[in-house]
């Protein structure tokens, strides 16, 4: 069987437009799995509440805990409650062995962004952004995390900077 791979100019124009619209979107975890992760960490670590668990996750995520190199290096405490990046990553793998902490954060990006903004927890890329955009506000600094790049609710200036930063680092 011979397949004809030739396209007319009209087909090529249409396909190019379609390809522009169909970019690969970054992976996310589903809502149910995210909820299971939060509740499992709460129970495992005997953390007082889901809110405290999510705050600890937010602090770790905002500190670069989604980076591969983070390991057990990043750990936060609120009162007697302690959580590390390694514990989060292990729990995520128990819930969905193909998922990552960054995928969890992409799924929870709105909640993390809002919590970080209210408590003024700057994102892991905020210092880099601040040197590029000296007048960046505290709110913008709080949204400046590696998992917020495709969040439509992220402030536009931050989202644009994150995309440019990502392209600069990975599309050399």
pLDDT digit string (tens) for 32-61? 999 999 999 999 999 999 999 999 999 999
Is 25 a member of any domain?
no
Q: What is the CA radius of gyration of the chain?
A: 19
pLDDT of residue 172: 55
Is 12 a member of any domain?
no
Task: State whether residue 92 is helix, strand or coil.
Answer: helix
* Residue range(s) defining the domain that contains residue 135: 31-170
With vertex at residue 112, the alpha carbon angle to CA 74 and CA 126, rounded to the nearest 5 degrees, is 65
Is 74 a member of any domain?
yes
Is 121 a member of any domain?
yes
pLDDT of residue 25: 58
Tokens, residue 151: 């969040």
pLDDT of residue 22: 64
Please name which of 61, 110, 112 lies closest in space to residue 88, comparing C-alpha atoms. 61
At 168, the pLDDT band (50, 70, 90 cuts) reads: confident
pTM, full prediction: 0.83
Is 14 a member of any domain?
no
**Mean pLDDT rounded to a whole number for the chain:** 91
E runs forming strands in 11-108: 75-78, 81-84
Is 10 a member of any domain?
no
Is 162 a member of any domain?
yes
Query: How many domains does the structure of the chain reveal?
Result: 1
Q: Is residue 83 within 8 Å of residue 92, measured between CB atoms?
A: no
Is 47 a member of any domain?
yes
Please name which of 82, 76, 93 lies closest in space to residue 44, comparing C-alpha atoms. 82
With vertex at residue 134, the alpha carbon angle to CA 131 and CA 137, rounded to the nearest 5 degrees, is 115
Q: Give the residue with greater pLDDT, 111 vs 18.
A: 111
């Amino acid at each position: 069987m011979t397949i004809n791979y030739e396209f007319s100019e009209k087909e090529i124009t249409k396909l190019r437009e379609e390809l522009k619209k169909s970019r690969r979107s970054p992976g996310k975890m589903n809502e149910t799995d995210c909820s299971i992760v939060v509740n499992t960490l709460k129970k495992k670590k005997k953390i007082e509440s889901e809110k405290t668990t999510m705050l600890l996750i937010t602090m770790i995520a905002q500190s670069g805990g989604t980076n591969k190199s983070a390991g057990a290096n990043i750990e936060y405490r609120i009162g007697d409650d302690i959580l590390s990046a390694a514990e989060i990553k292990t729990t995520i793998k128990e819930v969905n062995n193909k998922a990552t902490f960054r995928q969890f954060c992409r799924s929870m990006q709105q909640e993390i962004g809002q919590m970080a903004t209210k408590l003024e927890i700057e994102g892991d890329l905020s210092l880099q952004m601040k040197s590029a955009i000296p007048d960046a506000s505290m709110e913008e600094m709080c949204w400046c995390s590696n998992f917020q790049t495709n969040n439509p609710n992220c402030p536009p200036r931050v989202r644009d900077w994150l995309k440019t930063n990502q392209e600069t680092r990975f599309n050399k």
